[in-house]
């Protein structure tokens, strides 16, 4: 093997190997990966042709003396989203739409901004250059107003043209980190060797372009918070649990981090676990990785990994491990609302164990951060909690 | 100011005051309703060369002038017109019933004056303007005014009966059809809102200067300003994005004009300082008095007029295009704890017509506050409309430039060809020009900020004229301070009625504009017995209004149910 074996004995991973086998069997039963719906990678010429088609439609409207308008699918409407166990949250085939009119005082500015960004995308694709969303915003920050406007329009364009953002030559800035047993080559030929040491590698901006991925990892651990990720790095977790991969999105994951996790799953089909705080926010972050988000539901097939399992921190762990009550935090009103919202989501119904954990949290009205485990011992997380969970199948 | 015009105007003022006082007991606050016929017959004088002997008759149908005492009338009129003399005739009821309604009337006043022809011409214009001003606040009064010079008859009717109005206090209602105040230039964008939307300022009590305190007024003078932009700023046109002039109208108690045009004007001295009551600098406007007030036009002539000299710091406005006119109405009323007597009201009027400047100067601060608030609110509408227009223009510019960028940057010849052909452009430069123009034309009419008065009018079924008249006067009151006061009234006015009731004017001069020629077709043959008025011209309605209405209805859900921002 390319990697020096520093981790536990092979028997340590017995349960993990069984889990992987069951995942693969489930995949085979399901007929492999679901065929990509919604967006698909498009070539430059296809993207240019799509944009030209849109412009042609606008000019035809103008020639007929009709005020042109964009028809945009309502991405952020629950009525347009369905849940499939194998995919997660995705847009329905016949969505409700809204019109962005050029002759309405409410929408004329948005109409103009969509065209502005379309023209910028057109130039990027034509010249085979890339820009981040932030770059787009700063081309005329006064015109756009704020970054959120740009982000939403880019997503709307992606949804309208039915191509992923990558095909629009717009990159999102990655904030995620990777560590562990993984090597790959980036599009420009750069070889990346993620280490098991105390440093991590930034998630690349061009996930679609990375190739030659190599790993022996037995599992991929998604860590919610950067603080926990760094702590595990400092505790040499990757080496002690080698071979493994760790990823963090530093909170709500950006698109590239989600794309990377998806790519690692599609390529290696290794078990993927999440380590999140035992609070509604952590659970929601975990759901984003597993089932996707409403905003990006039109790209669900490229982003979701329904095979993800919840490793910790489980609300039931709090009682089981006798974590001191004074380390717990009462749920705020906002937490309560978020917990209620997550409990109502369609995917929770097919996760009875998750539901049960959330109900435990709701009943106790308390939440806990992963750092609560340090009250048991400073390295309890990396030396006891995680190894036991991984060895004995403590995931749901 | 020559004698005939002054005499007619003062007599009319007296009569209306008398009328008001007579009806105050029975229907307080109700609008005066009736018809007054004024006829002037001039023949070459047998005694003086180049002089016309003019006999003026003022007559009224109905018995509104019961109680008018000639001696008292003459005494009070002579206080203004020394040496004035007139004959007063009353006809019997039986005699009046045998005629048509405009025939022999129960009340008739006749006086005679010798005048030069040119003077008479000026007088008729002055009288016409005065009548026009009266009907602007007394929409139920109709004047038949005829002038016969050496056998040649010219007749006009002044009335605003079916026009939308804003009810004010004390039995007057301001007509809010814009066409009385401004005539848009030919070629300006079609205006869908034909009203002005006055904003009322808070009423303020005027202070009497010490040297006038002994005049023994047993009451208070209350000034209420009203400001409006004309045409309606809510309906935006490219050419109406700047203030170009200000017109000030002064009305006294009983809704009577305080000023007669062409008169020596110590009364309006206070307005010579354009900033005395209004701070124009905050709007980047520089106002200068406009002394060019042409009597000979069918618009209501303002008492004071300002022109915008330049807009400070804004060079981008198109100074050649017609801008908007800020209309400012100052209504001075007299309030007393006791029923106001005619004599007192007449005295108040005389005081105001001679000492208005002094009174307003004495009350400078309170008048300024009230007027400024009304003007601020009226101009705020303009400000919003201008901002909306600027946003629209900016957005459309971004949209068009983005499209041009894609078309000109495309390497697909078929795509470029299709785009150019669609707009029938020979090259990308022409394509850009045409695209700009087309977008502008498409959105100019469609991008119409919601003007509720017009929308409600267009949505409602047509009604007959009588019902429209009633509807025109309901609902609004002095207490409505918002610029939306126009929305409240005339909720059920039928769509075409805005063009009804337009006063048909026929110039005194033989030469006419085409529009006036059209009106002249209604001129009647001169007879003494039957001054048959021409009816109001019906609204043309027309295909443009229908198609625009359809467009508005199709957008109705958007206007009435604001959706989430996209």
The 3-state secondary structure of A280-322, one letter per residue: HHHHHHHHHHHHCCCCCHHHHHHHCCCCCEEEECCHHHHHHCC
Is some CB atom of chain B closer than 8 A to the CB atom of A175? no
Q: Which of residues 186-225 of A touch B (CB under 8 A)?
A: none
C-beta atoms surrounding A289 within 10 Å: 26
Residues of A known to be catalytic: 138
Q: How far apart are the first and last CA of chain A?
A: 31
What is the pLDDT at residue B510? 34
Residue A62 to residue B435, Cβ atoms within 8 A? yes
pLDDT tens sequence across A136-161: 999 999 999 999 999 999 989 998 99
Residue A65 to residue B441, Cβ atoms within 8 A? yes
B404: nearest CA in chain A?
A: A119
Query: B110: buried, middle or exposed (CB in 10 Å: 19+, 13-18, 0-12)?
Result: middle
Band of pLDDT at residue A214, cut at 50, 70 and 90: very high
Is some CB atom of chain A closer than 8 A to the CB atom of B557? no
Which candidate, A372, A368, A378, A369, places its Cα nearest to that of A231? A378
Which candidate, A175, A191, A176, places its Cα nearest to that of A245? A176
Residue B110, phi then psi, degrees to nearest 5: -130, 135
What is the pLDDT at residue B265? 59
A140 CA: distance to closest CA in chain B (Å): 11
Is some CB atom of chain A closer than 8 A to the CB atom of B412? yes
Query: Is residue A122 predicted with pLDDT exceeding 90?
Result: yes
Q: Is the peptide bond before A243 cis (omega within 30 degrees of 0)?
A: yes
> With contact defined as beta carbons under 8 Å apart, do A114 and A153 qualify?
yes
Residue B442 to residue A122, Cβ atoms within 8 A? no
d(CA A309, CA B52): 109
Handedness of CA A204, A208, A211, A214 (dihedral sign): positive
Which candidate, B179, B195, B168, places its Cα nearest to that of B458? B195
Q: Which residues of A touch B439 (CB under 8 A)?
A: 62, 102
What is the pLDDT at residue A243? 94
Which candidate, B67, B64, B73, places its Cα nearest to that of B32? B64
Residue A56 to residue B419, Cβ atoms within 8 A? yes
Q: What is the DSSP letter of B340?
A: P
Residue B447 to residue A104, Cβ atoms within 8 A? yes
B441: nearest CA in chain A?
A: A65
d(CA A277, CA A284): 10
> With contact defined as beta carbons under 8 Å apart, do B196 and B327 qualify?
yes
Which candidate, B164, B23, B174, places its Cα nearest to that of B478? B174
Band of pLDDT at residue A106, cut at 50, 70 and 90: confident
> With contact defined as beta carbons under 8 Å apart, do B246 and B326 qualify?
yes
Choose the closest CB to B566 out of A55, A100, A143.
A100
| Helix or strand holding residue A16 (H, E) | helix A14-29
Pairing of strands A69-73, A97-101: antiparallel
Residue A118 tokens read as 């379309």
C-beta atoms surrounding A155 within 10 Å: 20
Q: Which residues of B touch A59 (CB under 8 A)?
A: 403, 407, 419, 422-423, 435
Instruction: List chain B residues with pLDDT less than 50.
Output: 1, 92-105, 189, 236, 313-320, 448-452, 454-566
CB burial of B243-277 (b: ≥16 within 10 Å; e: otherwise) equals: bbbbbbbbbbbbbbbbbbbbeebebbebbeebeeb
d(CA B462, CA B194): 17
Residue B406 to residue A108, Cβ atoms within 8 A? no
Query: B366: buried, middle or exposed (CB in 10 Å: 19+, 13-18, 0-12)?
Result: middle
User: Which of A99-113, A187-201, B335-349, B506-520 ranks highest by mean pLDDT?
Assistant: A99-113
At what angle are helices A333-343 and A352-364 packed, to 10 degrees? 160
Residue A105 to residue B443, Cβ atoms within 8 A? no
B399 CA: distance to closest CA in chain A (Å): 4
- E strands in B285-352: 285-289, 304-311, 324-335
A39 CA: distance to closest CA in chain B (Å): 21
Is some CB atom of chain A closer than 8 A to the CB atom of B212? no
Choose the closest CB to B419 out of A59, A100, A107.
A59
Q: Which residues of B touch A104 (CB under 8 A)?
A: 447, 555, 558
Band of pLDDT at residue A262, cut at 50, 70 and 90: very high
Per the DSSP assignment, residues forming a β-bridge with A99 are A71
Is some CB atom of chain B closer than 8 A to the CB atom of A33? no
Q: What is the DSSP letter of B327?
A: E
Pairing of strands A131-132, A170-171: parallel
What is the pLDDT at residue B197? 87
Residue A89 tokens read as 């949250």
Residue B388 to residue A105, Cβ atoms within 8 A? yes
Pairing of strands B141-149, B34-44: parallel
A94 CA: distance to closest CA in chain B (Å): 19
Which of A20 and B540 is assigned the larger pLDDT? A20
At what angle are helices B428-446 and A44-63 packed, to 10 degrees? 60
Choose the closest CB to A103 out of B388, B447, B565.
B447
A98 CA: distance to closest CA in chain B (Å): 8
Choose the closest CB to B391 out of A59, A109, A122.
A109
d(CA B423, CA B403): 13
Residue A65 to residue B442, Cβ atoms within 8 A? yes
d(CA A306, CA A396): 12
Q: What is the DSSP string of A141-153?
A: HHHH-SHHHHHHH
d(CA B136, CA B299): 11
C-beta atoms surrounding B95 within 10 Å: 12
Residue A115 to residue B395, Cβ atoms within 8 A? no
Residue B448 tokens read as 């119409």
Tell me what ipTM this predicted complex has.
Answer: 0.74
Give residue A245's region: left, alpha or beta (phi > 0; psi -120 to 50): beta
Per the DSSP assignment, residues forming a β-bridge with B44 are B52
Q: Which three-class secondary structure state does DSSP give residue A226?
A: helix
> With contact defined as beta carbons under 8 Å apart, do B357 and B276 qualify?
no
A297 CA: distance to closest CA in chain B (Å): 18
Residue B398 to residue A143, Cβ atoms within 8 A? yes
Query: B11: buried, middle or exposed (CB in 10 Å: 19+, 13-18, 0-12)?
Result: buried
Query: Is residue A351 predicted with pLDDT exceeding 80?
Result: yes
Band of pLDDT at residue A332, cut at 50, 70 and 90: very high
Which of B244 and A89 is assigned the larger pLDDT? B244
Specify the pTM: 0.58
Lowest mean pLDDT among A1-10, A62-71, A134-143, B432-441: A1-10
Measured CA to CA in angstroms, residue B37 lies from A228, B42, B200, B406, B501 at distances of 96, 16, 33, 70, 18
Per the DSSP assignment, residues forming a β-bridge with B41 are B55, B148
Q: What is the mean pLDDT of chain A?
A: 88
pLDDT tens sequence across A277-309: 999 999 999 999 998 877 666 666 678 898 999
Which candidate, B461, B455, B453, places its Cα nearest to that of B164? B453
> With contact defined as beta carbons under 8 Å apart, do B81 and B10 qualify?
yes
């Amino acid at each position: 093997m390319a990697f020096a074996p520093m981790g536990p004995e092979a028997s340590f991973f017995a349960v993990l190997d069984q889990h992987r086998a069951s995942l693969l069997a489930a995949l085979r039963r399901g007929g492999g990966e679901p065929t990509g719906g919604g967006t698909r990678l498009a070539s430059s010429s296809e993207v240019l042709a799509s944009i030209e088609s849109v412009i042609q439609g606008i000019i035809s409207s103008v020639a007929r003396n009709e005020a042109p308008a964009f028809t945009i699918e309502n991405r952020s409407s629950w009525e347009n989203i369905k849940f499939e166990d194998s995919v997660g949250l995705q847009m329905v085939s016949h969505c409700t739409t809204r019109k962005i009119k050029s002759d309405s005082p409410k929408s004329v500015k948005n109409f103009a901004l969509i065209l502005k960004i379309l023209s910028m995308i057109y130039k990027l694709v034509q010249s085979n250059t890339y820009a981040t969303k932030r770059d787009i915003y700063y081309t005329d920050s006064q015109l756009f107003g704020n970054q959120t406007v740009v982000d939403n329009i880019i997503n709307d364009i992606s949804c309208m043209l039915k191509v992923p953002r990558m095909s629009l030559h717009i990159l999102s800035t990655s904030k995620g980190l990777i560590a562990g047993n993984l090597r790959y080559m980036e599009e420009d030929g750069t070889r990346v060797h993620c280490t098991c040491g105390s440093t991590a590698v930034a998630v690349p901006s061009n996930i679609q372009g990375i190739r030659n991925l190599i790993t022996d990892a037995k599992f991929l651990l998604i860590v919610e918070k950067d603080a926990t990720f760094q702590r595990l790095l400092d505790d040499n977790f990757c080496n002690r649990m080698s071979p493994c991969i760790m990823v963090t999105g530093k909170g709500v994951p950006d698109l590239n981090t989600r794309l990377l996790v998806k790519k690692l799953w599609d390529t290696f089909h290794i078990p993927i676990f999440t380590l999140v705080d035992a609070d509604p926010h952590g659970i929601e972050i975990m759901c984003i990785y597993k089932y996707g988000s409403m905003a990006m539901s039109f790209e669900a097939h490229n982003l979701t990994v329904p095979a993800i399992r919840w490793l910790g921190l489980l609300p039931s762990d709090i009682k089981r491990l006798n974590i001191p009550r004074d380390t717990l935090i009462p749920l705020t009103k906002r937490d309560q609302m978020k917990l209620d919202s997550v409990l109502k989501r369609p995917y929770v119904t097919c996760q009875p164990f998750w539901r049960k954990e959330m109900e435990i949290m709701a009943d106790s009205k308390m939440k806990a951060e992963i750092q609560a485990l340090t009250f048991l011992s400073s390295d309890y997380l990396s030396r006891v909690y995680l190894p036991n969970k991984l060895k004995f199948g403590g995931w749901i | 100011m020559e004698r005939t015009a002054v005499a007619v105007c003062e007599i009319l003022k007296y009569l209306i005051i008398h009328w008001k006082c007579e009806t105050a007991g029975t229907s307080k606050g109700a609008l005066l309703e009736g018809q007054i016929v004024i006829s002037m017959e001039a023949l070459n004088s047998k005694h003086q060369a180049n002089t016309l002997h003019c006999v003026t008759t003022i007559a009224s149908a109905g018995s509104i002038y019961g109680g008018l005492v000639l001696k008292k009338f003459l005494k009070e009129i002579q206080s203004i017109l020394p040496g004035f003399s007139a004959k007063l005739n009353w006809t019997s009821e039986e005699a009046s019933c045998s005629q048509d309604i405009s025939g022999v009337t129960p009340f008739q006043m006749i006086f005679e004056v010798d005048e030069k022809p040119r003077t008479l011409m000026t007088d008729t214009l002055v009288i016409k303007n005065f009548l026009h001003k009266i009907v602007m606040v007394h929409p139920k009064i109709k004047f038949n005014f005829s002038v016969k010079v050496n056998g040649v008859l010219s007749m006009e009717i002044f009335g605003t009966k079916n026009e939308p109005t804003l009810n004010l206090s004390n039995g007057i209602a301001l007509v809010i059809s814009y066409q009385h105040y401004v005539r848009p230039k030919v070629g300006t964008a079609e205006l869908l809102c034909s009203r002005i939307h006055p904003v009322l300022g808070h009423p303020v009590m005027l202070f009497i200067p010490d040297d006038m305190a002994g005049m023994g007024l047993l009451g208070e003078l209350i000034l209420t300003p009203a400001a409006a932009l004309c045409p309606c700023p809510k309906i935006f046109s490219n050419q109406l994005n700047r203030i170009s002039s200000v017109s000030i109208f002064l009305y006294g108690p009983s809704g009577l004009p305080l000023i007669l045009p062409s008169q020596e004007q110590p009364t309006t001295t206070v307005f010579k300082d354009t900033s005395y009551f209004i701070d124009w600098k905050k709007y980047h406007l520089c106002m200068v008095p406009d002394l060019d007030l042409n009597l000979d036009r069918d618009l209501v002539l303002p008492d004071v007029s300002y022109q915008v000299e330049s807009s400070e710091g804004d060079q981008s406005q198109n100074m050649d295009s017609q801008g908007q006119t800020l209309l400012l109405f100052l209504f001075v009323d007299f309030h007393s704890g006791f029923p106001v007597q005619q004599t007192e009201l007449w005295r108040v009027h005389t005081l105001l017509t001679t000492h208005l400047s002094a009174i307003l100067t004495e009350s400078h601060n309170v008048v300024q506050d009230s007027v400024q608030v009304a003007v601020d609110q009226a101009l705020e509408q303009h400000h919003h409309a201008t901002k909306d227009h600027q946003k629209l223009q900016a957005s459309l510019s971004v949209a068009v430039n983005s499209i041009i960028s894609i078309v000109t940057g495309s390497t697909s010849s078929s795509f470029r060809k299709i785009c150019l052909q669609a707009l029938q452009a020979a090259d990308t430069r022409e394509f850009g020009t045409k695209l700009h123009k087309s977008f502008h034309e498409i959105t100019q009419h469609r991008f119409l900020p919601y003007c509720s008065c017009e929308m409600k009018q267009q949505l409602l079924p047509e009604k007959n004229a009588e019902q429209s008249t009633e509807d025109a006067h309901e609902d609004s009151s002095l207490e409505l301070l918002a610029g939306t006061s126009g929305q409240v009234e005339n909720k059920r006015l039928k769509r075409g009625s805005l063009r009804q009731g337009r006063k048909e004017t026929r110039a005194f001069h033989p030469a006419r504009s085409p529009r006036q020629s059209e009106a002249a077709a209604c001129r009647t043959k001169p007879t003494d017995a039957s001054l048959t008025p021409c009816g109001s011209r019906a609204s043309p309605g027309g295909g443009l209004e229908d198609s625009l209405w359809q467009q508005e209805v199709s957008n109705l859900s958007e206007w009435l149910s604001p959706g989430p921002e996209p």
